[in-house]
Structure 1
Amino acid sequence: MIELVSESRCIQCNICINVCPTNVFDKVPDAPPTISRQSDCQTCFMCELYCPVDALYVAPQVEPLAEVDEKSLTEGGLLGSYRRNIGWGRGQTNTAQEDSTYQLLKYLK
């Protein structure tokens, strides 16, 4: 579920608004988008994948987290981590087979 739009990283490109299939975000003039309908998030990671500056964090849990701390997410390398893990974007190395979700799914076959 979408948990954070980093105000310090966001460049207000609004790509996340455009790629979200469930209209979770609202555009805010001269500010980062807001998460207005978090419960509508399908945890598809599209916003995180397309964010060019890793300003978003989508948690794999489908329920909102009790606490979201940007500093901890940054220190833990979690902002934009899904995009890095699957090798999405310029200059990235495809590491999809190393992603924990991929690892779990291979055992379900």
Structure 2
Amino acid sequence: MIEVVIDDRCGGCGSCVDVCPSDVLERAASGKAVIARQADCQTCYLCELYCPEDALFVWPQTDRIAGITADQALATGDVGGFRRDSGWDEHAATHTNQHWRMGAIFERARLMAIDDAAAKAARDENGRTS
């Protein structure tokens, strides 16, 4: 789930806002990205992938907000790691693009979403968890 936009790194290009399939991000009056609907994040990492400034941090946890701060994100050493490991932009000469491997992760997420929807439908139908 998207956890933080590192404000002093964000150049305001809007790429992350444009690429997000769930409209999680918006542009603030300053032009910089802000998290508007965090709970809607699909953890697809596209915002991180398209951010040329490495200003975004997506935590792999998909079902809850971790509450990570910008300092904590930077301390992980993972900020910008997804772009680097995917061989995008300036990393193309040193890292092979392995983005095709995400197919298995997206399939797992799809199956989890189907299971979650079925469980919600069962709760709605029965008024309780089945």
Residues 19 and 95 (structure 1), Cα distance of their counterparts in 2 relative to 1, 3 Å cut: closer
Seq. identity, %: 38
Pair member with larger Rg: 2
Match of 1:70 in 2: 70
Normalized per residue, the structure richer in strand is 1
Offset, 1:69: 2.5
Match of 1:26 in 2: 26
1:32-68 per-residue CA deviation (whole Å, 9 max, x = no partner) reads 2211111111111000000001000011111210x31
Match of 2:79 in 1: 79
Normalized per residue, the structure richer in helix is 2
1:62-99 per-residue CA deviation (whole Å, 9 max, x = no partner) reads 1210x3132232233221111112222233312639xx
Q: Report the residue type matching 1:78 in the other structure.
A: D
Structure 1 stretch displaced more, 88-97 or 40-49: 88-97
Report the aligned-residue RMSD.
2.3
Q: Is 2:41 aligned against 1:36?
A: no
Separation in 2 of the partners of 1:91 and 1:24? Answer: 26
Offset, 1:28: 1.0
Q: Which has the higher contact order (CA 8 A, sep 6+)?
A: 1
Unaligned runs of 5+ in 1: none
TM-score (norm 2): 0.67
User: What SS is found at the alignment partner of 2:89?
Assistant: coil
Separation in 2 of the partners of 1:29 and 1:69? Answer: 22
Unaligned runs of 5+ in 2: 106-130
TM-score (norm 1): 0.79
